[in-house]
Amino acid sequence: MDIGIVILGIGLGLLVIPAPGPVSLTLVEIGMRQGRRKGIEGGVGIALADAVALTAAATIVVGGRSLPPFAATALDVASVITLVVIGLLLVVRPLAASALAERIERPLPTMFSFTALTPSVLGMWVAVLNAVPFSTSVSAVAAFALGIVATSLGWHIALAMGASSVGSRLSERVQVRVMRAGGFGMLAFALATWMW
């Protein structure tokens, strides 16, 4: 396994993984409301879903394929709709969104499912893997994906731990502001995605 390609995957992961979205905001809420252990469980679920999505994307790309244009467009539209709905919920009813995250009893399978079913995840990884010059090499794509998954695991665990540490110190008013800011961020991201 080429360690340089693993490092390249880590680097790309550091650019892509931290982008704020519904999965990350839900994980932050779990960490803030339910504590470190539950937050870490959720972070592991997200990383596992990224591993599954990257495996599916690698199978498509290494096989010399890509998503059919209609499928890519459908995933984009579904992603924008998801971002708008969740963004509006966070802006208009932030405490309702927070209450939903607080009710998650099993964060690992819940966050795995939430991530795996987020429409943009598979399409994003297919696009990323199609863009690398070594997309036909099984070993290179596997090394690259390993770097991305390692970044996902590290980032999401750190995010959950940070949220659990800070969450108990934030007043409800500040938490509402943070959630609304996240909602506006999602709406802006949805607009940018739609225009791109």
For the stretch 57-66, pLDDT in tens is 898 888 777 6
For tokens 């540490």, what's the residue?
A: 165
Cβ-contact 12, 149 below 8 angstroms: no
The larger pLDDT score, comparing residue 117 to residue 4, is at 4
Q: How many angstroms separate the CA atoms of 23 and 111, rounded?
A: 7
Q: Please tell me whether the overall predicted TM-score, pTM, comes out greater than 0.85 for this model.
A: no
Phi, psi of 68 (to 5 degrees): -60, 145
pLDDT (0 to 100) of residue 24: 85
- Tell me the per-residue pLDDT of 112-133, one tens digit each, with 9 for 90 and over: 998 888 777 887 888 888 888 8
Which of the four pLDDT bands, split at 50, 70 and 90, describes residue 16?
confident
Give the span between the Cα atoms of 113 and 53, in whole angstroms. 11
